[in-house]
């Protein structure tokens, strides 16, 4: 049996931030991750300045390409609205590898299947044992499934379906565009050119409302591609997109049962307006590690519910 004081399941931003913080606090930590990194993660890779603050990361110190946007072009039906802002974009393929390497903890490539509670802790797949178990496995996290799903089910109304494609492109327009409610999409669509010669395009919308419309996210994707083509933002067919579903923020997220904790997408923490999940993933990971180390209560109630106020109403937008 391989034992560790804490085991984190999943090495995305939530798991990596938690592992980093546990290590800082001298708690012996092991990460179990099913994929070999670097791995693709379905995501636009947009991050806000508050993510950089949390990681104490100056953009010039990041070892990969990071794009800065001083303006966003918002499409709300009429002419595009150019809004001053300060936002960043990374590639998740690079960012997640960088984050887990930064934690400097052992990572075992292992898909967690079965978890049982025994000997004052948790046994995983008859191979691993830990006192503290942190579920950072995203939407389908096995820690969530085992301990939280039945007492604290997630609301299907909060489930978002999203697809994106990220590929090498000589983007005809280097600006970031966002379309709200594009052609009845119950969500938004984006065109996000990235440094290093990549373009990320995608759409996301509430799954329950898509079902009510009788349309799939792929129906909306095809219409969005048409719009991009007609506007001259893409010149050829993009590769087939990849999709994923995740949950927007619960009003009172329930993160802990005994010494089992869920963080990030496993806890359902993405913002209600933009589905921004990276900030909440990192914040919840850090908070979980602090609660374990300080023997204090854990709450995610103060993690922001919305992204737009911080995006649009920053002081520098008005300078």
Ligand X SMILES: Cc1cc2nc3c(=O)[nH]c(=O)nc-3n(C[C@H](O)[C@H](O)[C@H](O)COP(=O)(O)OP(=O)(O)OC[C@H]3O[C@@H](n4cnc5c(N)ncnc54)[C@H](O)[C@@H]3O)c2cc1C
DSSP state of 316: G
Kindly state the smallest distance separating residue 11's Cβ from ligand X, in Å. 5
Kindly state the smallest distance separating residue 310's Cβ from ligand X, in Å. 12
Tally of CA atoms within 13 A in the half-sphere of 44 that contains its CB? 26
Nearer to ligand X, 233 or 281 (CB): 281
Encode 223-246: b = buried (16+ Cβ within 10 Å), e = exposed.
ebbebbeeeebbeeebeebebbeb
* CB closest to ligand X, residue no: 277
State phi, psi for 230 to the nearest 5 degrees. -65, -30
Nearer to ligand X, 21 or 33 (CB): 33
Kindly state the smallest distance separating residue 30's Cβ from ligand X, in Å. 12
CB 268 within 8 A of CB 249: yes
CB 288 within 8 A of CB 257: no
Residue 112 contacts ligand X per CB under 6 A: yes
- Of 67, 85, 146, 270, which one interacts with ligand X (CB under 6 A)? 270
Bridge partner list, 67: 89
- Of 111, 119, 157, 235, which one interacts with ligand X (CB under 6 A)? 111
Question: Exposed, middle or buried, 2 (CB in 10 Å: 0-12/13-18/19+)?
Answer: middle
Pick from 156, 248, 162: nearest CA to 208: 156
Residue 136 contacts ligand X per CB under 6 A: yes
Q: Per-residue string for binding with ligand X, 157-196, x by CB under 6 A?
A: -----x-x--------------------------------
Nearer to ligand X, 14 or 27 (CB): 14
The bridge status of strand 46-47 relative to strand 256-257 is: unpaired
Nearer to ligand X, 181 or 318 (CB): 181
Q: Per-residue string for binding with ligand X, 50-89, x by CB under 6 A?
A: ----------------------------------------
User: Rounded to whole angstroms, what are the CA distances from 203 to 91, 96, 123, 219?
Assistant: 17, 22, 39, 11
Tally of CA atoms within 13 A in the half-sphere of 52 that contains its CB? 18
Segment lying near ligand X (by CB under 6 A), choices 30-38, 69-77, 177-185, 308-316: 30-38
- Of 132, 277, 283, 292, which one interacts with ligand X (CB under 6 A)? 277
Pick from 234, 231, 203, 228: nearest CA to 217: 203
Please report, as ranges, the residues that interact with ligand X according to CB under 6 A: 9-15, 32-35, 41-46, 111-112, 136-138, 140-142, 162, 164, 202, 204, 244, 246, 264-266, 270, 275-279, 281
């Amino acid at each position: 049996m391989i034992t560790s004081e804490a085991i984190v399941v999943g090495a995305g931003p939530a798991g990596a931030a938690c592992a980093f913080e546990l290590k800082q606090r001298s708690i012996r930590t092991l990460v179990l991750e099913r994929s070999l990194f670097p791995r693709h993660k379905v995501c636009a890779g947009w991050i806000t300045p508050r993510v950089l603050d949390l990681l104490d990361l100056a953009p010039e110190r990041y070892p990969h390409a990071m794009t800065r946007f001083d303006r966003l072009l918002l499409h709300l039906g009429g002419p595009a609205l150019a809004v001053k802002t300060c936002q960043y974009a990374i590639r998740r393929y690079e960012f997640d590898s960088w984050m887990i390497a930064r934690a400097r903890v052992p990572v075992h490539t292992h898909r967690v299947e079965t978890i049982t509670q025994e000997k004052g802790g948790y046994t995983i797949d008859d191979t691993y044992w830990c006192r503290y178990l942190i579920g950072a496995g995203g939407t389908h996290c096995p820690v969530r499934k085992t301990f939280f799903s039945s007492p604290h089910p997630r609301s299907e109304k909060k489930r978002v379906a999203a697809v994106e494609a990220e590929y090498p492109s000589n983007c005809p327009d280097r600006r970031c565009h966002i379309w709200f409610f594009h052609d009845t999409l119950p969500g938004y669509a984006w065109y996000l050119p990235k440094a290093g010669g990549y373009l990320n395009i995608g759409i996301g919308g509430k799954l329950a409302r898509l079902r009510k419309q009788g349309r799939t996210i792929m129906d909306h994707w095809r219409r969005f591609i048409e719009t991009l083509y007609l506007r001259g933002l893409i010149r050829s067919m993009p590769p087939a997109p990849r999709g994923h579903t995740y949950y927007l923020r619960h009003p009172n997220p329930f993160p802990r049962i005994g010494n089992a904790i869920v963080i990030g997408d496993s806890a359902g923490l993405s913002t209600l307006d933009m589905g921004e999940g990276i900030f909440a993933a990192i914040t919840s990971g850090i908070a979980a590690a602090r609660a374990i180390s300080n023997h204090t209560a854990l709450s995610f109630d103060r993690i922001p519910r919305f992204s737009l106020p911080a995006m649009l109403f920053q002081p520098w937008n008005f300078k």
